Structure 1
Amino acid sequence: MSSDANRELVERFYQQVVNERRLDAIDELLSEDFVHNGEQRGREGQRRTYEAFFAGFPDLTSEVVEILAAGDEVAVHRRWTGTHEGLFQGVEPTGRRVEFESTAILRLRDGQIAEYRGVVDLLGLMQQLGAAPAVSF
């Protein structure tokens, strides 16, 4: 696939899976042996990750801040927003509106996302929920 086609596939993944809550799209867009930061999660493992986020933040959405594609890799910086209305990582619902970011490099193979290497600002998210102390340097 071309770099443009790979970029479009990654954008489609986040639009369908996150913004439209179409977890069935995982079966089409992720490889069966999908790897997340070195851990082979497969499709089901990644589906459970999104289910946990959606349980805690039923209105979670994600938007592209920046996206770049080269060959079989796509780098994407995303901004996520949602309201904490359910249990998340042991934290009871706070009703707080949160915003956090993620940056990742995704590797594609045979028209599917095969690997995710990235970071999510979970510390910032947990601070917004009052579950982690503020950090200053």
Structure 2
Amino acid sequence: MDILEQNKSVVRQFNKEVIEQGNRETFNTLIDPDFINQTAPPTANGADGMWNTFYNILRPAFPDLKVEIYDQIAENDKVTTRKAIVGTHQGVLMGIEPTGKQIKIDVIDIVRLKDGKYLEHWGINTLQSILMELKKV
């Protein structure tokens, strides 16, 4: 397997084992000590901030959370993934009480890897739109 396919495999593993399953051991294995989330606020842009988002915000609100990967493109040390995070709103999400509604957060991520680990992340997603929809219910 060439390095581009290896990098794509690492990103798929992160999505399956960390985001879907909440596996902290895999998270620690796949995150570089110098990791920076370039799209997070400066006070939450390290590994702890990323773990908090998945484990303490999304997973409790959507215990049946799944990641559907549609496309991946790898070039040099970066992998871009177009995906969706889907689940049922069964827990409190940023102050919004459970609605039982099925959600789909569309996401495009770019991850820069170093030695098979996440070094940098950039992302855009539709979470804000989902929050507005859930508030209407």
TM category (shorter chain) comes to: 0.7 to 0.9
Give the equivalent residue in structure 2 for 1:128: 133
Q: Compared with structure 1, are the counterparts of its residues 89 and 131 closer, same or farther at alpha carbon in structure 2 (3 Å cutoff)?
A: farther
CA distance in 2, matches of 1:66, 1:36: 21
Q: Which runs of 5+ in 2 are unaligned?
A: none
Contact 2:88 2:102 in 1 (8 A): yes
Count matched residues: 132
Give 1:16 deviation, angstroms: 0.7
| Partner AA of 2:10 in structure 1 | L
Matched, 1:47 2:22: no
Is the partner of 1:85 in helix, strand or coil? coil
Is the partner of 1:95 in helix, strand or coil? coil
Give the equivalent residue in structure 2 for 1:26: 27
Contact 1:33 1:41 in 2 (8 A): no
What RMSD, in angstroms, separates the aligned Cα atoms of the two structures?
Answer: 1.8
CA distance in 2, matches of 1:34, 1:90: 29
Give the equivalent residue in structure 2 for 1:4: 5
User: Percent same amino acid among aligned pairs?
Assistant: 27
Give 1:59 deviation, angstroms: 0.9
CA distance in 1, matches of 2:127, 2:89: 14
Give the equivalent residue in structure 2 for 1:135: none
CA distance in 1, matches of 2:97, 2:33: 33
Residues 64-91 of structure 1 deviation map (CA, whole Å, 9 limit, x = unaligned) = 1110101100000011111111111111
Give 1:128 deviation, angstroms: 3.2
Between Structure 1 and Structure 2, which shows a larger proportion of helix residues?
2
Matched, 1:87 2:88: no
Q: Which runs of 5+ in 1 are unaligned?
A: 133-137
CA distance in 2, matches of 1:78, 1:41: 21
Which stretch shifts more, 23-32 or 36-45?
36-45
Give 1:130 deviation, angstroms: 2.9
- The two structures have a TM-score, normalised by structure 2, of 0.87
- The two structures have a TM-score, normalised by structure 1, of 0.87
Q: Compared with structure 1, are the counterparts of its residues 131 and 29 closer, same or farther at alpha carbon in structure 2 (3 Å cutoff)?
A: farther
Residues 108-130 of structure 1 deviation map (CA, whole Å, 9 limit, x = unaligned) = 01220111111011123113313
Give the equivalent residue in structure 2 for 1:64: 69
